[in-house]
């Protein structure tokens, strides 16, 4: 717990609005409000402490990411005693994936409390998840691992994690297909070409070839999306053969 003692400074004031905000979100009375001031400070504020160190959520986000992974790993280790390391790693990645954490952060309304000099429309797409990770990091420092684990369980795991549904969730159709192609020694190739037509927005058309035949085509606004989209379309043609190895990817 030396890390917690090193990072903890200052005391909470129950009369401050931030005290009520943090307690309302986490269910835990904060001890050191300066930690949570960092959680809700955007880099655009360019705030610094007396030592010249930047005050924003980025360092707490880094810590929270590690703590969150540990909490989820411990949960899966207990709940899935028959799963091997690879399967547990995959399941964890399905839970801590960026779009899911963004949903959690947005559901908690964290962005409403963010001090920033940037209009909300100009935030990056992952700001909600970043704030959630920063909040997890702050709760860990302020209240310890057990309290932080209870917070993560109450706001993320218990209401949102369905292990049966996650078991069947595909994170990357391309990875799934490529692995299946390789295991079956099938010749495949992705072709991606610009396909703007008369539209102002750039578009790309992806084709998936299998043994010199086109098995699927798709169109999207960038190459990565086009490849994933065409892979998903192709997946449904081979899903019955693939499902037996799905959890290995």
- Tell me whether residue 50 is one of the annotated catalytic residues: no
Residues 235, 149 share a domain: no
User: What is the pLDDT averaged over residues 215-223?
Assistant: 93
Q: Quick: pLDDT tens for 100-123.
A: 999 999 999 999 999 999 988 888
Q: Which of 168, 186, 210 is the last residue of a domain?
A: 168
Which range of residues forms the domain containing residue 87? Answer: 2-168
Residues 97, 9 share a domain: yes
Residue 1 has pLDDT above 60, yes or no: no
Q: Which residues are CB-contacts of 12 (< 8 A; sequence separation ≥ 6)?
A: 19, 29, 30, 31, 32, 33
Question: Which CATH number fits the domain that encloses residue 238?
Answer: 3.30.160.20
Residues 30, 150 share a domain: yes
Start-to-end C-alpha separation, the chain: 37
- Tell me the two tokens of residue 145: 């691992």
- Tell me whether residue 133 is one of the annotated catalytic residues: yes
Q: What total of structural domains would you count in the chain?
A: 2
User: What is the pLDDT averaged over residues 69-96?
Assistant: 94
Residues 234, 182 share a domain: yes
* Contact call for residues 186 and 209 (beta carbons, < 8 A): no
Q: How far is CA 53 from the centre of its chain?
A: 27
Q: Which of 136, 168, 200 is the last residue of a domain?
A: 168
Q: Quick: pLDDT tens for 46-73.
A: 988 888 889 999 999 999 999 999 999 9
pTM for this model (two decimals):
0.75
- Burial class (CB within 10 angstroms; exposed 0-12, middle 13-18, buried 19+) of 174: buried
* Contact call for residues 178 and 169 (beta carbons, < 8 A): no
**pLDDT interval class at 5 (50, 70, 90):** very low
- Of the listed 65, 85, 99, 212, which one is catalytic? 65
Q: Quick: pLDDT tens for 122-152.
A: 888 899 999 999 999 999 999 999 999 999 9
| pLDDT at site 205 | 94
| pLDDT at site 10 | 53
Q: Quick: pLDDT tens for 15-33.
A: 689 999 999 999 999 999 9
* Contact call for residues 153 and 136 (beta carbons, < 8 A): no
Residues 134, 78 share a domain: yes
Residues 115, 6 share a domain: yes
Query: What CA–CA distance (Å, rounded) separates 109 from 120?
Result: 13
Residues 91, 152 share a domain: yes
Residues 27, 116 share a domain: yes
**pLDDT interval class at 12 (50, 70, 90):** low
Query: What CA–CA distance (Å, rounded) separates 132 from 139?
Result: 11
Residue 44 has pLDDT above 60, yes or no: yes
Residues 81, 52 share a domain: yes
Query: What CA–CA distance (Å, rounded) separates 60 from 37?
Result: 11
Task: Dump the DSSP string for 75-119.
Answer: HHHHH-TT--HHHHHHHHHHHS-HHHHHHHHHHTTGGGG-B-SS-
Work out whether strand 54-55 and strand 47-48 pair parallel, antiparallel, or are unpaired: antiparallel
- Tell me the two tokens of residue 61: 């986000």
Q: What is the mean pLDDT of the chain?
A: 89
Residues 133, 22 share a domain: yes
Question: Which CATH number fits the domain that encloses residue 136?
Answer: 1.10.1520.10
- Of the listed 32, 61, 133, 228, which one is catalytic? 133
- Tell me the two tokens of residue 24: 């309302």
Residues 185, 118 share a domain: no
Alpha-helix runs per DSSP H in the chain = 2-7, 17-26, 33-39, 58-79, 85-95, 98-107, 127-143, 145-152, 158-160, 163-168, 173-183, 223-242
Residues 196, 128 share a domain: no
């Amino acid at each position: 717990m030396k890390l917690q003692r090193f990072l903890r400074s200052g005391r909470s004031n129950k009369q401050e609005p931030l005290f009520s905000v943090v307690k309302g979100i986490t269910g835990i009375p904060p001890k050191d409000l300066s930690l949570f001031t960092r959680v809700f400070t955007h880099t655009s504020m360019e705030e610094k402490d007396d030592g010249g160190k930047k005050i924003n959520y980025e360092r707490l986000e880094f810590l929270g990411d590690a703590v969150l992974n540990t909490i989820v790993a411990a949960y899966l280790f207990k709940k899935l005693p028959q799963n091997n390391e690879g399967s547990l790693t995959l399941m964890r990645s399905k839970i801590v994936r960026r779009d899911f954490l963004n949903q959690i952060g947005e559901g908690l309304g964290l962005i409403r409390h963010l001090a920033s000099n940037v209009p909300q429309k100009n935030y990056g797409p992952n700001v909600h998840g970043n704030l959630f990770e920063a909040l997890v990091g702050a709760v860990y420092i302020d209240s310890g691992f057990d309290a932080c684990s209870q917070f993560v369980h109450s706001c993320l795991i218990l209401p949102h994690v369905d292990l049966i549904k996650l078991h069947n969730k595909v994170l990357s159709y391309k990875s799934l297909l490529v692995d299946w192609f390789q295991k079956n020694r099938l010749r495949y190739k992705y072709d991606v070409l610009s396909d703007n037509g008369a539209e102002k927005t750039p578009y790309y058309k992806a084709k998936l070839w299998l043994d010199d035949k086109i098995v699927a085509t798709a169109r999207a606004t960038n190459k990565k999306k086009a490849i994933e989209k065409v892979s998903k379309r192709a997946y449904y043609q081979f899903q019955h053969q693939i499902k037996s190895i799905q959890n290995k990817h």
